[in-house]
């Protein structure tokens, strides 16, 4: 019988659960009623990296709502925050994966042309 261990990278960070794809989509991030504009820079079925265009008062662990053309509205938790960028993990109990697939199928091409 073979026992396999999952390799942990030298930097100690967990590997991402889903492949991310680069994009550039305008997004509105809402935290406790306060809205901040930004751009989704990369996106997967489990999360996204958002470049913020304004003041953001949330912190790691905060729940936020993202609203974006093509992605609709999704709930997420902030997993990291640095240099005016946040990484969010989507609420897996929703149909977010279907929304992300639809975004790449119908909207992503237009977003790249608009850059």
Q: Which residues sit opposite 66 in a β-bridge?
A: 29, 74
pLDDT digits (tens, 9 = 90+) for 69-106: 876 789 999 999 999 999 999 887 667 777 777 777 77
pLDDT digits (tens, 9 = 90+) for 21-74: 788 889 999 999 999 999 999 988 889 999 999 999 999 999 999 998 876 789
- As beta bridge partners, residue 25 has 40
Residues with Cβ within 8 Å of 102's Cβ and at least 6 positions away in sequence, in order, are 70
* Banded model confidence at residue 109, pLDDT cuts 50, 70, 90: low
Helices (H), 1-115: 96-106, 108-114
Give exposure, 19-41, as e/b (b: 16+ Cβ within 10 Å). Answer: eeeebebebebebeeeebebbbb
Domains of the chain, start order: 21-114 (2.40.10.220)
DSSP 8-state class, residue 84: T
């Amino acid at each position: 019988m073979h026992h396999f261990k999952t390799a942990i990278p030298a930097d100690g960070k967990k590997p991402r659960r889903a492949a991310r794809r680069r994009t550039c989509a305008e997004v509105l991030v809402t935290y406790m009623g306060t809205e901040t504009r930004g751009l989704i820079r990369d996106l997967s079925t489990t999360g996204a990296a958002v470049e913020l265009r304004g003041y953001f008062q949330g912190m790691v662990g905060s729940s936020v709502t993202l609203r974006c053309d093509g992605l609709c509205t999704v709930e997420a938790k902030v997993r990291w925050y640095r240099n005016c960028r946040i990484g969010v993990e989507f609420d897996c109990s929703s149909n977010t994966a279907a929304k992300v697939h639809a975004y790449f199928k119908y909207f992503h091409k237009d977003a790249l042309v608009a850059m």
